[in-house]
């Protein structure tokens, strides 16, 4: 059972914001519910500008890192960019590679293969980079916890600049510069940038030091916004400035790879939904399926025929990923039912020969379904590699720190982690982890739907749904507004996609409202025609055969009392 909570919003403040910014009271309510209260915050939230970026030199080590890369540019040194295989990593490499290339320095790039190397720096890769004559490595979206690997690079005579956004350990790598806004000694006013956001601040700082025009770094905001939205960082503060300005630039992007991907993904407009559900899965599918360089080639290529072929490949990889994901999901569900794992405080399942590039997505679905922390592990021989997802209120990374005796390697953050362990430690790890979740009383954590406001038929109009676009892009900490609509009579009810989804028409007097509940088809037998219900969900335009109709995208439904 999900708990419904309606925000308690100050009516006087709603009226003031509504009047001052010429927006509806409902929209003003939504903005206030996001904790955006003072005039500067509201202005930036609604209409951010390029002057709203923070000073990059407030990040620790920025000065020495910038000086070192300018020296490399002047001396035409061999510089290697070392990144991750997800969207954040791919876009980070793209931004720094293109920026340095325009400064006359053509760097190399290295992306570890997810299936054979895993995440982050590894000594074999560093040795290979060294043997190819590179003197300087810039890490993007990784490196903050690579203490041993960076020591190894130093011993070989190479230098490293770390740009990352993950949680630092107590000990920092011995690098020329460690640029991470999550550092405890950081004076930077915002600590939730994506990896590509940190890469962007790096090229902003270089541009300022070299007295370049601001367009020399601002022109990459289209790519930076794609990585930022895809990485599910909080869509507030500087992330919102990046995303909002970047999406506008993406509409007229000069990056032919991005343009081709938009075309082949079938989306006719670019917004946060397009990125999250259209672009990100296709880019990530490359890394998940072991073809990480394809996605980077898409963003770096200047050949129109090549980018069309690559974007078609991305579609193909994504379809393959979906098929594998479906099979693993079904196997996990069988395992949960057979072993009664849904009665535990956490769900940990391991199996031979799962595709470990896909298990993170499946873990996320299991977490959503059972609202418990979930870790899935695929075994290859005596070693297991895993991915975990958490629920709000349970710090998954901290739990792994407490279980580190059973692990070979781990990393990540509060809500998502990666790990590896020996097969012989698997059951001891499960026992230990389950005990941690019991001590944290994860069984008391329930799914809460935060409702912005109650609406009625007078609020439902195309104009109002269009007005809601003012608070895009949506994302973490700025979710789509959720509304409650009470005392609706079920006029029709059926399922779609072989019982998977729920489709309803609801009546308020003589007015008909359409509603759809994705993955809620199991509820079709619980409600009869004529039943009075309360629903919570988001409002959206559904376009079919050239006709736009408003529908409620259901998050939950209950009988009215």
* Spans of all domains in the chain: 3-7+449-559, 56-218, 340-444
- Classify 118 as helix, strand or coil: coil
Whether 340-444 and 56-218 are alike in CATH topology: the answer is: no
d(CA 100, CA 392): 39
Cβ–Cβ contacts within 10 Å for residue 37, how many? 12
Q: Where are the beta strands (DSSP E) in 311-401?
A: 347-352, 374-380, 383-389
pLDDT, mean of each 10-residue run, the chain (561 residues): 91 95 94 92 92 97 98 96 93 98 96 80 95 97 94 97 92 96 95 97 98 97 96 91 96 94 86 90 86 91 94 92 93 95 95 88 92 94 93 92 93 86 96 94 87 93 91 90 96 92 94 93 91 96 79 95 84
Looking at residue 167, its pLDDT comes to: 86
Looking at residue 125, its pLDDT comes to: 95
d(CA 59, CA 185): 9
Architecture per CATH, 56-218: Alpha-Beta Complex (3.90)
538 half-sphere exposure, CB direction, 13 A CA radius: 12
pTM of the prediction?
0.86
d(CA 528, CA 512): 17
Topology (CATH) of 3-7+449-559: OB fold (Dihydrolipoamide Acetyltransferase, E2P) (2.40.50)
- Classify 452 as helix, strand or coil: coil
Q: For residue range 347-364, list pLDDT tens digits in order.
A: 999 999 898 788 999 999
359-366: long-range contacts (C-beta < 8 A, 24 or more apart)?
Answer: 359/328, 359/386, 359/387, 360/387, 360/389, 360/416, 360/418, 361/321, 361/325, 362/325, 362/328, 362/329, 362/332, 363/387, 363/388, 363/389, 364/389, 364/416, 365/329, 366/329, 366/332, 366/336
Q: Which CATH number fits domain 340-444: 3.10.310.30, 2.60.40.1840, 3.40.50.720, 3.30.390.50?
A: 3.10.310.30
């Amino acid at each position: 059972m999900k708990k419904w909570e309606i925000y308690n919003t100050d009516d006087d403040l709603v009226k003031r914001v509504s009047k001052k910014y010429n927006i509806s009271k409902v929209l003003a309510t939504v903005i206030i519910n996001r904790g955006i209260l003072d005039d500067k915050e509201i202005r930036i939230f609604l209409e951010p500008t390029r002057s709203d970026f923070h000073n990059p030199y407030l990040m620790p080590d920025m000065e020495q890192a910038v000086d070192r890369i300018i020296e490399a540019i002047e001396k035409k040194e061999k510089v290697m960019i070392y990144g991750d295989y997800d969207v954040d990593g791919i876009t980070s490499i793209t931004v720094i590679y293109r920026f340095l290339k325009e400064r006359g320095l053509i760097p190399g790039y290295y992306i570890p293969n997810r299936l054979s190397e895993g995440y982050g720096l590894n000594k074999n890769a560093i040795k290979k980079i060294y043997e190819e004559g590179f003197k300087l490595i810039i890490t993007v979206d990784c490196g903050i916890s690579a203490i041993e690997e960076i020591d190894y690079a130093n011993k070989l005579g190479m230098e490293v600049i770390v740009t990352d956004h993950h949680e630092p350990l107590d000990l920092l790598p011995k690098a020329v510069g460690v640029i991470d806004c999550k550092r405890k000694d950081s004076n930077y006013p915002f600590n939730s940038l994506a990896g590509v956001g940190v890469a962007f601040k790096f090229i902003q700082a270089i541009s300022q030091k070299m007295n370049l025009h601001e367009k020399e770094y601002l022109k990459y905001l289209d790519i930076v916004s794609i990585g930022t939205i895809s990485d599910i960082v909080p869509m507030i503060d500087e992330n919102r400035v990046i995303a909002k300005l970047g999406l506008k630039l993406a509409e007229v992007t000069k990056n032919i790879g991005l343009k081709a991907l938009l075309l082949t993904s079938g989306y006719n407009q670019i917004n946060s939904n397009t990125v999250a559900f259209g672009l990100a899965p296709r880019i990530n599918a490359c890394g998940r399926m072991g073809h990480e360089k394809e996605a980077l080639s898409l963003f770096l290529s200047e050949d129109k025929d090549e980018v069309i072929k690559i974007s078609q490949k991305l579609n193909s990889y994504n379809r393959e990923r979906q098929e594998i994901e479906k099979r693993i999901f079904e196997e996990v569900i069988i395992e949960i039912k057979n072993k009664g794992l849904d009665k535990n405080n956490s769900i940990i399942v391991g199996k031979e020969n799962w595709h470990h590039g896909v298990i993170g997505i499946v873990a996320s679905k299991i977490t959503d379904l059972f609202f418990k922390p979930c870790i899935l592990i695929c075994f290859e021989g005596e070693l297991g590699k895993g991915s975990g997802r958490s629920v709000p209120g349970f710090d998954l990374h901290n739990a792994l720190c407490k279980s580190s005796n059973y692990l070979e390697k781990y990393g990540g953050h509060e809500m998502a982690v990666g790990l590896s362990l020996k097969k012989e430690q698997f059951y001891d790890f499960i026992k230990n982890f389950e005990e941690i979740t019991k001590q944290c009383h994860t069984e008391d954590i329930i799914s809460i739907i935060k409702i912005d406001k109650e609406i009625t038929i007078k609020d439902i109009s195309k104009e109002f749904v269009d007005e809601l676009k003012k608070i895009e892009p949506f994302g973490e900490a700025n979710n789509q507004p959720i509304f409650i609509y009470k005392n609706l009579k079920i006029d029709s009810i059926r399922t779609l996609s072989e019982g998977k989804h729920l489709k309803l028409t609801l009546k308020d007097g003589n007015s008909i409202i359409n509603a759809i509940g994705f993955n809620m088809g199991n509820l079709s037998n619980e409600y009869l025609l004529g039943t009075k219900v309360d629903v919570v969900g988001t409002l959206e335009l559904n376009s079919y055969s050239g006709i736009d109709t408003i529908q409620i995208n259901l998050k939950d439904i209950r009988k009215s009392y």
